[in-house]
Homo-oligomer: A and B are copies of this chain.
């Protein structure tokens, strides 16, 4: 495939136009078609990119000669659209979360395997250079044994009508956690509240238990006065904070810790020593994660390589969201991710 990869985007609401802009700017792709149910969205896209063909019927996209389809529609439609796209022989990039439940995700994973097509989910943060830095840092062993992770992702808005805050915001943190730890959690529990809309949680707290006694706590909210996007990873040798709201110094690596003596007795606590070393803000290249994600998708389409955030990754995230939902409804009890 030496020619440009022809891309069609289905859904031009909030996220779609960002995908369109990126595919438009990447040299070896051709942003060919766009589909949306609303006329004015299509008109807007046509004004920006007169060469793009617009349609209200997604089947026209699937019937066209585009090589790949990016799906940025409401979550309940992900499964059907992705399934038809794969059956039509198109490579597929689906916005997160992959589907509305795990059965749907499993079906897509299987279908992608059968057809040999690329199935990728838009876990954008896995393409964020700061998150990649964290993954390499953890993998290098420099932080020692990983103890636990705190994550906070809160803001005022944007409320969703059809999904709760767990399905809206937690996919970011869950995919980051699995990516930097290289592990899937064993179980998850969740608590939360529904304040503005009836029966739709706008605040939630998730606790995930990973193997090796690694704990992760995630706070998500649409109802906080401040925009906070912060992840703290605590290891036995070093600690690191990733603050995505910081304009330049997003990552700080702390040479801090508590040194435990090699032996232990009933008075071990008196031997603890605190270590307060340098703090380093590594120089991390600034690049738009969505651009890197789109490029990675095109690379996988071209080469057949397995995407970093492939269907299986998307399936794992959906399973965790399902388990968290069960926990929300049963009083916060731990729910196994694998039933």
The answer to whether A256 and B225 touch across the interface, beta carbons within 8 angstroms, is yes
CB of A274 to closest CB in B, whole Å: 5
Chain B residue at minimal CB-CB distance from A258: B196
Q: How far is the CA of A63 from the CA of B195 in the complex (A)?
A: 57
Which of B267, B282, B332 makes the CB contact (< 8 A) with A333?
B332
The answer to whether B268 and A197 touch across the interface, beta carbons within 8 angstroms, is yes
Q: Do A191 and B189 form a contact, CB below 8 Å, given A224-B232, A274-B156, A333-B333?
A: yes
The answer to whether A281 and B279 touch across the interface, beta carbons within 8 angstroms, is yes
Q: Do A226 and B241 form a contact, CB below 8 Å, given A156-B256, A191-B215, A197-B269?
A: yes
CB of A224 to closest CB in B, whole Å: 6
The answer to whether A280 and B279 touch across the interface, beta carbons within 8 angstroms, is yes
Chain B residue at minimal CB-CB distance from A209: B191
Q: Do A334 and B334 form a contact, CB below 8 Å, given A157-B274, A279-B281?
A: no
Which of B196, B205, B239 makes the CB contact (< 8 A) with A217?
B205
The answer to whether A205 and B205 touch across the interface, beta carbons within 8 angstroms, is yes
Which of A105-113, A170-178, A247-255, A304-312 forms contacts with chain B?
A247-255
The answer to whether A281 and B282 touch across the interface, beta carbons within 8 angstroms, is no
A51 at the interface (CB under 8 A from B): yes
The answer to whether A215 and B193 touch across the interface, beta carbons within 8 angstroms, is yes
Q: How far is the CA of A109 from the CA of B263 in the complex (A)?
A: 43
A234 at the interface (CB under 8 A from B): yes
Stoichiometry, as copies per complex, reads 4
A6 at the interface (CB under 8 A from B): no
Q: How far is the CA of A221 from the CA of B282 in the complex (A)?
A: 24
Apart from A148-B203, A192-B215, what are 13 other A-B pairs with CB-CB below 8 Å? A50-B50, A161-B268, A196-B258, A198-B264, A203-B215, A203-B234, A217-B219, A223-B258, A225-B232, A225-B279, A278-B283, A279-B280, A279-B281
CB of A23 to closest CB in B, whole Å: 14
Hey, what's the 0/1 contact readout for A205-243 against B, CB within 8 Å counting as 1? 101000001010101011111110000101010011100
**Contact partners of A264 in chain B: CB under 8 A:** 198
**Contact partners of A269 in chain B: CB under 8 A:** 159-161, 197
Hey, what's the 0/1 contact readout for A9-27 against B, CB within 8 Å counting as 1? 0000000000000000000
**Contact partners of A217 in chain B: CB under 8 A:** 191, 205, 219
Which of B196, B245, B274 makes the CB contact (< 8 A) with A272?
B196
The answer to whether B258 and A189 touch across the interface, beta carbons within 8 angstroms, is no
Q: How far is the CA of A281 from the CA of B277 in the complex (A)?
A: 9
Q: Do A148 and B239 form a contact, CB below 8 Å, given A159-B269, A207-B332, A332-B332?
A: no
